Amino acid sequence: MITLPPLSDIPDLRHGFFGREGGVSEGIYASRNVGFGSKDDPALVAENRRRCQVDLHPDAPPLVTVYQVHSADVVRVDTPWEHADAPEADALVTNQPGIILGTLAADCAPILLADPAARVIGAAHAGWPGAFKGVAEATVDAMVALGAEPAAIVSVIGPRIGAASYEVGPEFRDRFVGHDPACTDLFATAERPDHHHFDLGGYVARRLSARGVGSVVLAPHDTLKDAQAFFSYRRSCHRQEPDYGRQLSAIMLDA
């Protein structure tokens, strides 16, 4: 479990970016696959999630996740729900202690956020579609609705596909630069003609900062490069594997 400042410096707050190690799944899902959307045995996925809950807090508070759809939709969590009742969204916010907010990813950028004074937290899943649609800003806005102040929010963008690993075609770059010419510098020329490397983490960080978030930290981990530590959708495609696992990013307020 990876923890990073400034979140790790906040009293009465727990967070963690979990990798693929320390679980019970096998084969391409080895070993801590937390994705019920994968073709892994649901019982093994449930056990992997339970281990994450215990690692975050010995009392294993309820873990709340959503059915992720690469949107900018955010849900407020007042009471936990069962996995089968999870709404479609890509971010969660709460001011309730004792509830773990979780997001799943396998190259996408997980974002964990907290306003320590207002005691409001958030968790978001930012693949490129959600990031482009504004899931980062929508999460901040939902936290503000619960009493947070953007300048008081601290955030960490967790392990994700690194810029050097994320090659995209010309239509991808045109979409982003056409929307915001200032993000041109987030694309570096790749070896293949008309292709570029895209800095997803940098893009998400820039949008959080533009929304007024006081502190934005980027984890240094590249999910595609480190096959032992992380699942990666793009790596599974390169290997022509039939499916892939997901890793959890989680945050909670202590009671």
CATH of the domain at 221: 3.60.140.10
Mean pLDDT (the chain, rounded): 98
Q: Give pLDDT tens digits for 146-166.
A: 999 999 999 999 999 999 999
- Domain of 24 in residue numbering reads as 7-162+199-253
Partner residues linked to 93 by β-bridges: 76, 122
Supply 237's token pair.
């495609």
- 232 in Cβ contact with 161 (< 8 Å): yes
Asked if residue 255 has pLDDT above 90, the reply is no
What pLDDT, on a 0 to 100 scale, did the predictor assign at position 196?
Answer: 98
Tell me what the mean pLDDT of segment 80-106 comes to: 97
| Rounded distance between C-alpha atoms, residue 123 and residue 77, angstroms | 11
- Strand 74-76 to strand 91-94: parallel, antiparallel, or no bridges (unpaired)? parallel
Q: Give pLDDT tens digits for 227-253.
A: 999 999 999 999 999 999 999 999 999
Q: Is residue 233 part of a domain?
A: yes
- Percent with pLDDT over 70 in the chain: 100
Asked if residue 69 has pLDDT above 90, the reply is yes
Counted domains in the chain: 1
Q: Is residue 168 part of a domain?
A: no
Q: Is residue 58 part of a domain?
A: yes
What pLDDT, on a 0 to 100 scale, did the predictor assign at position 212?
Answer: 98
Q: Is residue 176 part of a domain?
A: no
| Rounded distance between C-alpha atoms, residue 228 and residue 192, angstroms | 28
State the pLDDT confidence band at 35, using cuts at 50, 70 and 90: very high
- 133 in Cβ contact with 111 (< 8 Å): no
